[in-house]
Homo-oligomer: A and B are copies of this chain.
Amino acid sequence: MSPKVVAVAGATGAVGTEMLRVLECRRFPVKRLVALASARSVGKSVRFAGEEVPVAELRQDSFRGVELALFSAGAARSREFAPAAVASGAVVVDNSSAFRMDPEVPLVVPEVNPEAVRTHKGIIANPNCTTIIMNVPVWPIHKAARVRRIIVSSYQATSGAGAKAMVELRRQLVELLSRPEYSEAALLEGMGLRNDAPHVAKGLAREVFPHQIAFNLFPHIGGFYPEGDLEEERKLVKETHKIFGDSSIRIFGTTVRVPVFRAHSESVYLETERPVQPEEARRILSGAPGVELMDDPSKNLYPMPIHATGRAEVLVGRIRSDPSTPNVLAMFVAGDQLLKGAALNAVQIAELL
């Protein structure tokens, strides 16, 4: 591939920062980097390939000469600025939800449907992080035995809500750990029955999340639909249908934020058309692209966020049948949602072009 002029829109965000790191790590041929962000980041710079690159404001005229534009600045900005990038001659890989369900726009996980990039008309969409992390290990099982149903519960890291969300978790922890009610003595004292919700910490600073995240978790990621499901949960259904090219798979998700900095985990329960025993599943998955099998309970080896952080692969373990029901395969997976769930997947799409 000849070196390209590459723009990153949202270059100072959690995913944008990882896009820069991934372009470096994978030695993507960058002729010139254009770092774009909102007006309030102008004056900052980002580090890329040993140099400080000044951040410019993301505008309609930001894309002159740009050949590849990686967007991760939210759906509103993608809708506003991606068409301008395309009009300037760039190919856009968009990490937001803006174009994912557009029938004209390919939605691509390179391990699953790389051929879809060929049909692009200027924009290629990067799926939601939780979808990607589920799709990478489920696809090889689907190819082998046709997945008919997926029931998934997630354990999602704070950084999925952006850089500020990591800082929010950190600050809340520092604050709470300094309070007497979180001292070792207080934790050990017991509390009996109380109705004053003593562990809803009073006066805790909070900007990003709807509730305290330190020592807590909540089944709330993205907005709620009137039907009671979350945007994050519906993305799992619709995006997987589009990526797999099979909307007959029944999918139900419950998405939950947990007090972890990086890497999403998912408890995945599959029903397949043909039965797949755990041994066969391990064989299939140990050779599957983008997957690392980590499944040895005798050595306490299974996927965890601290193993997945910084890794390109989605980790898969706890592979089991369900003794009560035929044709079931359960697994526990973990993947770095800023990398394979976002920045890495986007750069892999760019590499396919």
Is the CB–CB distance between A170 and B184 below 8 Å? yes
In the bound complex, how far is the Cα of B261 from the Cα of A338, in angstroms?
Answer: 27
**CB within 8 Å of B: which A15-34 residues:** 17-18, 20-22, 24-26
A9 part of interface (Cβ distance < 8 Å):
no
Is B306's CB under 8 angstroms from A215's CB?
yes
State which of A69-77, A130-138, A246-254 sits at the interface with chain B.
A246-254
Q: Which of A101-109, A113-121, A190-198 contacts B (4 or more CB under 8 A)?
A: A190-198
Choose from B24, B155, B201 the contact partner of A217 (Cβ within 8 Å).
B155
Cβ-based interface call for A187 (8 A): yes
Q: Report Cα–Cα, A190/B159, bound state, in Å.
A: 11
Q: Which of B191, B229, B304 contacts A216 (CB 8 A)?
A: B304
Which residues of B have CB within 8 Å of A262?
Answer: 199
How far, in angstroms, from A90 to B189 measured CA to CA in the complex?
27
Given known pairs A155-B155, A300-B220, the reply for A190 and B17 (CB within 8 Å) is yes
With both chains docked as a complex, state the minimum distance between the C-beta of A21 and any C-beta of chain B, in angstroms: 3
Stretch of A57-65, A79-87, A325-333 that contacts chain B: A325-333
In whole angstroms, how far apart are the Cα atoms of A167 and B185 in the complex?
Answer: 9
Bound: A255/B21 CA distance, A:
35
Q: Per DSSP, are chain A's interface residues mostly helix, strand or loop, or mixed?
A: mixed
Contact assessment for A197 and B151 in the assembled complex, using a CB-CB cutoff below 8 Å = no
Q: Once the chains bind, are A320 and B177 in contact (CB under 8 Å)?
A: no
Cross-chain contact of A265 among B194, B196, B217, B305 (Cβ < 8 A): B217
Q: How long is the Cα–Cα vector from A330 to B253 in the complex, in angstroms?
A: 10
Closest Cβ of chain B: how far from A257's Cβ, in Å?
10
**Within 8 Å CB of A244, what residues of B?**
none
User: A163 vs B190: C-alpha distance in the bound complex, in angstroms?
Assistant: 10
Knowing A199-B305, A324-B250, A325-B252, the reply to whether A188 touches B174 (Cβ < 8 A) is no
Which residues in B have their C-beta under 8 angstroms from that of A318?
219, 228, 254
A211-B300, A215-B260, A229-B320 given. 9 additional CB < 8 A pairs?
A14-B190, A22-B192, A170-B182, A170-B184, A192-B310, A193-B310, A210-B300, A228-B318, A256-B267
